[in-house]
Structure 1
């Protein structure tokens, strides 16, 4: 190796929830210092990647920064990589959304810098070969991928070339080796010497040594390391060392500059992958997996491990189909697509390398943008209420999607429950709830916490259930309900679930009938003892309401109003378990939006309600901390069922949204 080409880069770091304060801190601590150094040192070269949101903020708060970027690009001193405008996980997007997000950022970069990008950066190197045709069609010549997803036998410190369906793209592997510099306080001179020695040793006898006189390494600065190294003048001293001690051995260059000059490209096969420090979280919920997977870890592994992220992806996919199939008002369709793109930010479905996971605030922000996109589509074409049946979440079973005036809901065959309830008025998804995990919460729920989840408990089990203690799954919460009858015209769904009760394995069945209307549902239950042995217990209908006030992770933002035995009872907030009997009316009000949910059973019932807290690992603590909570409301009835007998219960569920205030004309 005669010369080592060194490419230095800084990746983007922002989300749709990034505040002006966050952007300002990043600017003052990193961008301002780095760009000032580059401006004063014309021989120093560097590459950046930005999200569209960062560029929007720079234009408002620091337009001078963009002017300097334009000048440095013209001086061929810096290169700005392309990407998705809202930093999405590209493999999860449809081809039209992939191209749309890339082109949106490309147009913005060309307007600001006067030059379109030729290379592209992808969030956490989440890769799939199907991206190759799209990237090439968008004018991208090469992609920056983490070295950890490149097959080891192909790591020769040379660019790769990948092909798919007759299209090809170059790959520049990027290395993250600066953390040791900080931990061990390694000087720039020592770092460069070790880097050259390592590459010379590993390439000395490889098959490309005769052909390739030059090698390349791309080193990425992430925000944490960049801030520390900039504050200690380490980066400035790095360039000085390159220009002095290593002037004949190391050449700093821009990635596209090297790609255009390179003569050797290694044909490689990289089908799927995620950078290794993110992939380690993909196999066990909220834990680093010590096991090495025989197959490369993909984004699908992550979605399977984290059901709430998968649920959000299902919603994104559905809205993307709605937008693509809309043939109405073009302006509203474009507005819908932009709202969809905002929701597709990767931070809502993927964790950070340090294990910071998408929280409820991030997920709800995505759900809001998705429901806003749906509102635009409803305005673009004449809206008609509908109930349809198809495999919404790709689990092999049909779900029922209810598109009504006030809400959109998804009813799952698993548990026969409502797994998604998007209220059009405030755009929130009230069924977005975690489930308890024994390692963190000391309890395993073993079922998804949606709305209208049914349990059959013995007296002892129900006593534990009311206290939030382990009580089993209650027979039907995990049962797979089969379709007995579906009528989309009448908006009627009839389901039937079967199971066994108690240690005696008494066969029981539950027929469940949904009658959907513009304001809510009517849900009818028929619980039957299918065996000859009589038994007694408690029939429980559980609903879990997601919190929409994110000011405090353990705050319950719901108000509770009851009518018990003809008397009204109100709770401004519920912080402890509440159990009442003889209930004929229940109203749960989300105080952050003033939206109410009303339950009216056909027979007086008991009620058990309480906030449930979910704990998860926290970077700032050795023990799990409260991450989210949900408000659990359960109606229940005691029963005695002889062999072959059945009971019937009905609940009317209504969504009440606040009326628009009329303003007086002056």
Structure 2
């Protein structure tokens, strides 16, 4: 019988936009020490995938690490795997962008390591049956997915080994099933457990078993640095594998393929790893899914029926989180535009920013922060805006134009206002609210705020129990804890999306705390109502007029009103102006507050260089973490010392300002945490209208440089 082969693949990745100290920590605690140990064992071979963001950081700060990898590649101890350079989710990209990203990584690996990649790491192991066709022409021959994908196709885990052949329209791709048993054992169980798994597979007649998972498991996940390096798990693991070479061999993925035929043909359904498929479910479905799995396990039925138990699919994150869909559609449409650029240099510059904006991490949320981390969303917006800026510069000149376009592909038209300085999206179908405001010179989206919504894991905050803090190293999926007490008090769910220029009619006994806690009564019907609209562009200026009729509910009566909102963007200055006109169409007096809600973010809640500035006689400086009010003002600033900008909000009528931080409770690898998403700035106007009386005012949002 041939020796047993362990195909061992490690995937190292950090998102575009992650903090420099996180890259450094990951390098010092995982990427470097792993190679330090590997170099000591000449019989150990691995497949290694490093994402583009990590490569770029290493090239800039630790170039000597590249030289070490080059030596290991030359010794045929490391096979470099390709993939989308900036770790995109291939399932949502056009074929053009899939091939562009993969070829970008292929070229990098060929240049730095002298290898022509044959395999690729599939982002989050999200498989689509069309991938063999989409990857045709990239030179990719194989990839890896979880063995769960195979069980969804009717296979049993103990029947899986080696690699399989699949195709789409005759385009072939080879697929390794990643062993779940190995993935859960490494590095949490002693090395002998891995030997047991490999012996079992060998005794069943298989000549190869594949392991593939995140490199961050080896030093970054909680307690793993101490376990893997300080207590010597990785050293013992490689030593154990090396000392069993009489029956066990480590093979590079392409090396194994060259020696052994595929196990059989297989066609896999759309899938990812089990946890990802659970996370993609709607929030209310997740507890039911967990309940069902618990029922099967308690009934000793789970092992038998597990292949038929699955959650959702990754694409449903675009449905679950409108914020994810919004930036995805933005980047998708920008990618379509760059094909019209004739200059290859300009086109490549725009394309690079498009690729960076396709980094998957901020498009979804599961165990890790992902979408809930505002700085990761900011990186997507920053690169999308930079791509648009490149396109703008190629276009040349000055302009301010409006366009009717379905920006989010929901069958409802939006209106975009676009100038040299600002890009803005208005949603007539949703209260004529403003969905996005980008300031191009600093490549910054000011409206990058996440809606507070229910998550499937929130129930765990109430049922949470203390776990042992002993020496056992748990899988990150088994860790449940909170980073602060009382987080359940922050589980507030928004009734509306977190957009801007949203128009609330509220009673005069309402205050900022009731707005923050969603404890207020919405008296009006227009906050998310559809508006009619028309464009009125002129030279150097773009105008959009929106109008709707609705009611204000006061004293048991529904009093009809008419609301007009006029948006203006000019080419001569970075300022969005919104003019309001409200008419009382009833025969009764309307007496309430009109509260114009703007959800804005400078990313940091408690930083000395991010401040709310109230320019009264005694200037007030407030941090974004504070709940605050300012009475009888007409102007305030959002000061950003990092960008060196003031974002200025001015009204021609006096208003009261209510401000509160928008904070969510989400899970991360460190436990449940409260995360700042942005701030609600509510401009409160005293509205007292007699029958047929009108109230008009304007609000402008602009930008000025801070010297």
TM range (shorter): 0.7 to 0.9
Matches within 5 A, 1:593-612: 593-602=643-652, 604-612=653-661
Q: Distance in 1 between matches of 2:116 and 2:256?
A: 17
Distance 1:354 1:542, change over 3 A: closer
Question: What does residue 663 of structure 2 align with?
Answer: 614
The alignment partner of 2:337 has SS state of: helix
Distance 1:417 1:476, change over 3 A: farther
Question: What does residue 252 of structure 1 align with?
Answer: 250
Matches within 5 A, 1:163-242: 163-177=167-181, 181=185, 186-197=189-200, 214-227=206-219, 228-242=227-241
Q: Pick which of 164-173 and 275-284 moved more.
A: 275-284
The alignment partner of 2:380 has SS state of: helix
Distance 1:402 1:506, change over 3 A: same
The alignment partner of 1:378 has SS state of: helix
Q: Distance in 1 between matches of 2:184 and 2:269?
A: 30
Matches within 5 A, 1:580-659: 580-581=631-632, 583=633, 585-592=634-641, 593-602=643-652, 604-619=653-668, 624-642=673-691, 645-658=692-705
Q: Distance in 1 between matches of 2:50 and 2:288?
A: 33
Q: Distance in 1 between matches of 2:238 and 2:638?
A: 61
1:271 deviation in Å? 4.1
1:40 deviation in Å? 4.0
- Normalised by the size of structure 1, how large is the TM-score? 0.85
C-alpha contact (below 8 Å) 1:481/1:498 kept by paired residues:
no
Q: Pick which of 101-110 and 2-11 moved more.
A: 2-11
Q: Is 2:609 the partner of 1:539?
A: no
Q: Distance in 1 between matches of 2:550 and 2:316?
A: 31
Q: 1:511 aligns with which of 559, 564, 567?
A: 564
C-alpha contact (below 8 Å) 1:444/1:470 kept by paired residues:
no
Matches within 5 A, 1:122-141: 122-141=122-141
Question: What does residue 210 of structure 1 align with?
Answer: none
Which deviations, in whole Å up to 9, do the C-alpha atoms of 1:438-485 show, x marking residues without a partner? 765343321122221111123344676567652144535642323242
Distance 1:654 1:19, change over 3 A: closer
Q: Distance in 1 between matches of 2:598 and 2:527?
A: 15
Distance 1:355 1:517, change over 3 A: closer
C-alpha contact (below 8 Å) 1:158/1:266 kept by paired residues:
no
Which deviations, in whole Å up to 9, do the C-alpha atoms of 1:382-426 show, x marking residues without a partner? 243321011001121001111112211111121211111001122
Question: What does residue 614 of structure 2 align with?
Answer: 560
Q: 1:436 aligns with which of 452, 468, 486?
A: 452
Alignment gaps of 5+ in structure 1: 205-212, 563-567, 662-666
Distance 1:638 1:482, change over 3 A: closer
1:531 deviation in Å? 5.2
Q: Distance in 2 between matches of 1:586 and 1:36?
A: 58
1:240 deviation in Å? 4.5
C-alpha contact (below 8 Å) 1:595/1:655 kept by paired residues:
no
Q: Is 2:628 the partner of 1:577?
A: yes
C-alpha contact (below 8 Å) 1:83/1:102 kept by paired residues:
yes
Q: Pick which of 462-471 and 520-529 moved more.
A: 462-471
Q: Distance in 1 between matches of 2:504 and 2:19?
A: 43
Q: Is 2:427 the partner of 1:412?
A: yes
Distance 1:247 1:426, change over 3 A: same
The alignment partner of 2:12 has SS state of: coil
Q: Pick which of 349-358 and 314-323 moved more.
A: 349-358
The alignment partner of 1:479 has SS state of: coil
Q: Distance in 1 between matches of 2:424 and 2:380?
A: 16
1:537 deviation in Å? 2.1
1:354 deviation in Å? 4.4
The alignment partner of 1:389 has SS state of: strand
C-alpha contact (below 8 Å) 1:466/1:608 kept by paired residues:
no
Q: Distance in 2 between matches of 1:460 and 1:20?
A: 47
The alignment partner of 1:272 has SS state of: coil
Q: Distance in 2 between matches of 1:73 and 1:486?
A: 60
Q: 2:417 aligns with which of 402, 427, 436?
A: 402
Number of residue pairs the alignment of both structures matches: 635
Q: Pick which of 73-82 and 154-163 moved more.
A: 154-163
Q: Is 2:503 the partner of 1:454?
A: yes
Distance 1:442 1:29, change over 3 A: closer
Q: Is 2:421 the partner of 1:368?
A: no
1:288 deviation in Å? 5.7
Q: 2:164 aligns with which of 155, 160, 166?
A: 160
The alignment partner of 1:335 has SS state of: helix
The alignment partner of 2:416 has SS state of: strand
- Normalised by the size of structure 2, how large is the TM-score? 0.81
Q: Distance in 2 between matches of 1:191 and 1:59?
A: 34
The alignment partner of 1:363 has SS state of: helix
Question: What does residue 345 of structure 2 align with?
Answer: 331
Question: What does residue 545 of structure 2 align with?
Answer: 494
Distance 1:325 1:290, change over 3 A: farther
C-alpha contact (below 8 Å) 1:332/1:379 kept by paired residues:
no
Q: 1:272 aligns with which of 270, 281, 285?
A: 270
Q: Distance in 1 between matches of 2:493 and 2:118?
A: 49
The alignment partner of 1:537 has SS state of: strand
C-alpha contact (below 8 Å) 2:447/2:499 kept by paired residues:
yes
Distance 1:225 1:341, change over 3 A: closer
Which deviations, in whole Å up to 9, do the C-alpha atoms of 1:6-42 show, x marking residues without a partner? 2111111222345555444444444444434444433
Q: Is 2:116 the partner of 1:116?
A: yes
1:556 deviation in Å? 5.8
Q: Distance in 1 between matches of 2:650 and 2:677?
A: 28
Question: What does residue 322 of structure 1 align with?
Answer: 337
Distance 1:579 1:330, change over 3 A: same
Q: Pick which of 136-145 and 366-375 moved more.
A: 366-375
Q: Distance in 2 between matches of 1:646 and 1:216?
A: 81
C-alpha contact (below 8 Å) 1:89/1:346 kept by paired residues:
yes
C-alpha contact (below 8 Å) 2:567/2:579 kept by paired residues:
yes
The alignment partner of 1:115 has SS state of: coil
Q: Is 2:392 the partner of 1:378?
A: yes
Q: Distance in 2 between matches of 1:435 and 1:197?
A: 49
Question: What does residue 664 of structure 1 align with?
Answer: none
Q: Distance in 1 between matches of 2:11 and 2:146?
A: 12
Matches within 5 A, 1:30-179: 30-152=30-152, 153-154=154-155, 155=157, 156-177=160-181
Q: Is 2:426 the partner of 1:422?
A: no
Distance 1:468 1:555, change over 3 A: farther
Q: 2:360 aligns with which of 342, 346, 355?
A: 346
The alignment partner of 2:136 has SS state of: helix
RMSD over aligned CA atoms reads: 3.3
